[in-house]
Amino acid sequence: KGIVTVHQDINLVQTMTVAENLFLNNEPTRGFGVIRRKEMHAAAERLLAQYEIHVRPDATVSDLPNDLKKMVQIAKAVSLEPRVLLLDEPTSSLTEAEVRVALRMIRSLAGSGVAVVLISHYLNEIFEVCDDLTVMRDGRVVADGPIAETSLPAVVSAMIGREVETGRRA
């Protein structure tokens, strides 16, 4: 329950169900390691409902579209109750509605004391959910500080290494 990472690429077991993926290596068991499948299924239903992920726990992951696979992957990370959650481009393959759900999930986690590190090129999302920001370019920190003390043009300038023109060309 320390640090959990959600990688940009989907890393779920395609031949397993959603519930099996959510609790892989963390299955509820009874004597002799027998998995309590009903309990696992019910816990998966609660977790999916809590985060508005509209998929059946018994659905096979390979049958899901990529956006739902990504939401299941995020839910799996959240289910581990991490103290630090690293999210690498978590919204890159999501629909707009799912982005809203993912951002609500991030805010909720941060509000409950989880340190969330969000790696994203979607600056509107960064400004929406982050308290602090660090800009890296070529492996070096080129800007950091509270979101409230910066602006979108300043962040873009830090990212590309030069001032950004905001006016129109004639």
Strand, helix or coil for residue 86: strand
Q: Would residue 44 count as lying in a domain?
A: yes
Q: Would residue 170 count as lying in a domain?
A: no
**Closest by Cα among 61, 76, 123, 70 to 93:** 70
**pLDDT tens over the chain, length 170 residues:** 699 999 988 899 999 999 999 999 877 778 888 888 899 899 999 999 988 899 999 999 999 998 889 889 989 998 888 999 999 999 988 888 888 888 988 898 898 899 999 999 899 999 999 999 999 999 999 999 999 999 999 999 998 888 776 665 55
Sign of CA dihedral 151, 168, 96, 6: negative
Overall residue count recorded for the chain in this entry: 170
Inter-residue contact 79 to 48 (CB < 8 Å): no
Q: Would residue 107 count as lying in a domain?
A: yes
Question: Residue 108 belongs to a domain with what CATH number?
Answer: 3.40.50.300
Is-above-0.75 flag for pTM? yes
Q: Would residue 144 count as lying in a domain?
A: no
Q: Looking at residue 43, what is its pLDDT? A: 94
Q: Looking at residue 14, what is its pLDDT? A: 97
Q: Looking at residue 102, what is its pLDDT? A: 86
Q: Would residue 148 count as lying in a domain?
A: no
Q: Looking at residue 166, what is its pLDDT? A: 64
Q: Would residue 168 count as lying in a domain?
A: no
Q: Looking at residue 167, what is its pLDDT? A: 61
Q: Looking at residue 64, what is its pLDDT? A: 95
Q: How many structural domains is the chain composed of? A: 1
